[in-house]
Amino acid sequence: MSLRVGCPRCAAPVADDGDGGWACPEHGVVVPLWRPATASYDDFASHLGHADGFPTYLPWPLGPGWTVTDFAVVADETRGGRATMTCVSGTSALDGPVDVIVISEEPGTGLGARIAGLGLTGRTDPGEEVGDGPPTVKVRIGSFPVGLWPVSVSGSGGEWDRSVVVGEAEGRWMWLVLRPASAILLLRDDWILRDVSETGPQLVALPFGGPAPPW
Ligand SMILES: [Zn+2]
């Protein structure tokens, strides 16, 4: 069990920069990304340790048969957490296999844009579409509603079928990436995202495992 280190914005391997940090050949010195080889309870505990209180959101409760298939955190010891992602996967009657990815990040981190498939465009953040007109859908963090707006991924070079919606919560971007694209219809206003960073022992009951999404 261990988390692998990488770049938050691309798949290039990072190297120790000799000064206690990590450097990507493409993006220079970065706050590193930590991701498990396969999702497990022990690695999730390690993830929460790296995040050091930065929120990690999961849809709550998970539907029957759904599992946590992936997670990652962007953090270092001096600056703490900058971003987290989780993926839960299951099946719906209409869509078959579905992945729901939730990313919370400080602006400029670029993890959400990468996972959404916008990384090849050089973008690290969503654009003016967020907050333009009424939101397409709302989810809740506890009792707090979070409006989400669609972000176009056409022409971004990504090869997979997905929907991307983005909003803002507590000064951070909240990205939801759903695969296939039609799974956006699963989102309803009563969807609840729970910050599990403080949850503790209940996490033992979370089902982990299954293939992680490509990103
Ligand atoms: Zn990079």
From first to last of the 215 residues of the chain, give the pLDDT tens digit. Answer: 589 999 999 999 999 988 889 999 999 999 999 999 999 999 999 999 999 999 999 998 898 999 999 999 999 988 899 999 999 999 998 899 999 999 999 999 999 999 998 877 788 999 888 999 999 999 999 889 999 999 988 766 556 689 999 999 999 999 999 999 999 988 877 789 999 997 776 777 899 999 999 89
Distance 143 CA to ligand 1 centre (A): 36
Distance 51 CA to ligand 1 centre (A): 20
Q: Is 180 exposed, middle or buried (0-12, 13-18, 19+ CB in 10 A)?
A: middle
Distance 119 CA to ligand 1 centre (A): 10
Q: Are 83 and 74 in contact (CB under 8 A)?
A: yes
Q: Which residues surround ligand 1, an ion (CB under 5 A)?
A: 7, 9-10, 12, 24, 26-27
Distance 33 CA to ligand 1 centre (A): 10
Which amino acid, residue 114? R
Distance 116 CA to ligand 1 centre (A): 15
pTM attached to this predicted model: 0.94
- Beta strand 144-150 with 137-141 is antiparallel
